[in-house]
Amino acid sequence: MSPLLSVQNLKVYFRGDETVARAIDGVSYEVHAGETVCLVGESGCGKTVSALTILGLIPRPPGEIAGGKIFFKGRSILGLKEEEFQQIRGKRIAMVFQEPMTSLNPVFTVGDQIKEAIMVHEAIADRQAHSRCVGLLKDVGIPSPEERLRDYPHQLSGGQRQRVMIAMALACNPNIVIADEPTTALDVTIQKQILNLFKELQKARDMSLLYITHDLNVVREIADCIYVMYAGIIVEQGKMEDLFEHARHPYTMGLLASLPHRAKRGRILYSIPGTVPDPAYKPGGCPFHPRCEHAAGICKKEFPEMCDYGDGHLSRCPVLYERTNTVTF
């Protein structure tokens, strides 16, 4: 089955005065229909940029798509004109942003804004649009939707606002919803509610979800497939269980080790030493080698290739790949 959305070897650079920040440096991933795909990584590793590129929202200049392709339903969408892109945005691919506090326009009521999301793409009567808004708010679990529609964003709580944002994203029944850290700005109890909401909605509407997060606990809740990003590249990818049970890349291992867990109570949490490299000055070879405890001489020189562990589980660490193979054989 061909994937709904496929990103192939995408490269997005940001040109500064003297430097070129390689925000995304050859990233490929696929989202199949009805699937939840998680992009995981630290801040600044290119997760959000890759999502914005899918929607054609990278500001150009300074941004620049240096290479690669994006296919949506088998059609290349990178070279589309602005008007054609507007047909896809919101209607076929919708996005939920990180900050529900600032993602709603403060001068219009919630109802106006959801209605706009519908009316931009569909020519329907105002009353029909209104009843659809009520239905959407019900779907995202907002009590007494009729009254909330007349509220301004500042009258809602953070969780409610994020629900409204989700309702706006769902307004035109998109095939894919891209959720860019939708729970980061919310407190933990609300996070859980929003996650459950995403799961329910996805089941009910049979849509795909591209979920961008840095929170592995969230990933464990909802993911089918995981892509771990580091410094603009994908370092490991695979099914959720495979990655959590047998992480094959030192970076993924580090991330998992730094998760708090009941068994680790009382001990100091592991943290990966060092920081993410500046996208304008990435280390040569494997970008992770300065922070890696398994780093060998080859890591400084050669850019690592993807190593296949079978069943779609790939990892960009030849050193560990060799080691596992020598143990097995």
Residues that bind other proteins (CB under 8 A): 55, 57, 61, 85-91, 94-95, 97, 99, 102-108, 116-117, 120-121, 141, 143, 151-152, 155, 157, 159-160, 165, 168-169, 171, 189, 192-193, 196-197, 200
Residue from 275, 281, 283 nearest 300 by CA: 283
Contact by Cβ (8 Å): 277, 231:
yes
193 vs 324 by CB, closer to other proteins: 193
**Within its chain, how far is the Cα of 278 from the centroid?**
21
CB of 248 to other proteins, least distance (A): 27
CB of 318 to other proteins, least distance (A): 37
CB of 261 to other proteins, least distance (A): 11
CB of 179 to other proteins, least distance (A): 12
CB of 37 to other proteins, least distance (A): 18
Torsion of CA 48, 54, 57, 61, to 10 degrees: 90
CB of 219 to other proteins, least distance (A): 15
DSSP string, 182-219: TTTTS-HHHHHHHHHHHHHHHHHHT-EEEEEES-HHHH
User: Whole-angstrom Cα distance, residue 30 to residue 6?
Assistant: 4
294-303: burial string, b at 16+ Cβ within 10 Å, e else: ebeeebeeee
Contact by Cβ (8 Å): 136, 170:
yes
91 vs 248 by CB, closer to other proteins: 91
Cis peptide before 61 (omega within 30 of 0): yes
Torsion of CA 167, 165, 62, 23, to 10 degrees: -90
64 vs 151 by CB, closer to other proteins: 151
The pair phi, psi for residue 24, each rounded to 5°, is -130, 130
Q: What number of helices (H) and strands (E) belong to the chain?
A: 12, 12
23 vs 319 by CB, closer to other proteins: 23
96 vs 235 by CB, closer to other proteins: 96
CB of 322 to other proteins, least distance (A): 38
CB of 54 to other proteins, least distance (A): 10
83 vs 293 by CB, closer to other proteins: 83
With both helix axes pointing from N to C terminus, report the angle between 158-170 and 188-205 in degrees, rounded to the nearest 10: 20
28 vs 193 by CB, closer to other proteins: 193
Residue from 268, 302, 264, 267 nearest 283 by CA: 302
Residue from 224, 229, 225 nearest 214 by CA: 229
22 vs 115 by CB, closer to other proteins: 115
